[in-house]
Homo-oligomer: A and B are copies of this chain.
Amino acid sequence: MTSSTSGRAAARGERDGTGPGRRGGRRLRRGSLTPEVIVAESLRLLDAQGADGFSLPKLGRALGADPTAVYRHFASKDDLVLAIADRLIEEAMTGLSARPCWADTVAEVVRRLRATYRAHPGAASLSASRTTQRPAEMRVVNVLIGAVLQAGFEGAAAARVYRALGDFALAWAGGEAAFLALDPGLQQADRAAWARAYLAVDQAEYPHIWQIRDDLASVTDDDIFEMILSLVVDGFLARAPRPCTCAKHVSPDTATASAT
């Protein structure tokens, strides 16, 4: 199954020059690399250069160490990614506690996750859709389930509602992060589509697009997110056995909370 005739001469031209900070530099002091330092530097690199160019050799060099030094602390790149994922959840959820109104708690959790993922799109796009089951994650899970129980859901229904909320938060934040982690050029081309390509669309072929072509570019990410979030939260408010009695949730302005 393995290839038999592929080239193998790639590793021949090894220059022996001693680049600074690279291979051949002075040896690092013994305690210099810790998991915390490595994760922190990973975040810095990912924020600065995106997820595509992120590699363990680069990370090692950025730390002033050998390209393979990180492997002394993480068994594999995937192992490091998990640590980064947990670090993100921790950053998102520090100081989180339940609010009086459970709907507020739910909204805050989702908003916090989204904000952190948007702040670190490279890291988020690597680690979204991974669950770490470490303390930071468990705490959020507990808070979310607490809100669901506070709403009066019980047993299997509560489990379904919690999973729906958790998956929704992860899917949305992960999706936005994946987009923001693309090459800036690609992102620009994508956003430009709303502003240019759809403007010039053929009326006969795509009449509905044509009809609102002028309005498509003005929609912001925040618009979209808050709209979907309110649909989800209001929907659960309407379905909850024990809805929230906050002032803002009993007023009819949100159209579904307790209108009619």
Q: A238 at the A/B interface (Cβ < 8 Å)?
A: yes
Selecting from A33-41, A89-97, A204-212, the interface stretch reads A204-212
Cβ of A167 and Cβ of B224 under 8 Å apart? yes
Question: Could you tell me the distance in whole angstroms from the C-beta of A223 to the nearest C-beta in chain B?
Answer: 5
Chain A: interface residue total (CB-CB under 8 A): 79
Residue of B nearest to A216 (CB): B159
CA distance in complex: A143, B206 (Å): 9
Q: For chain A, what secondary structure do more than half of its interface residues adopt (helix, strand, loop), or is it mixed? A: helix
Q: A32 at the A/B interface (Cβ < 8 Å)?
A: no
Cβ of A149 and Cβ of B211 under 8 Å apart? yes
Chain A residues at the B interface, C-beta cutoff of 8 Å: 1, 3-6, 10, 17, 22-24, 67, 128-131, 133, 138-139, 141-143, 145-146, 149, 155-156, 158-164, 167-168, 170-172, 174-176, 178-179, 182, 186, 190, 193, 197, 201, 205-209, 211-212, 215-216, 218-219, 223-224, 227-228, 230-232, 234-236, 238-239, 252-256, 259-260
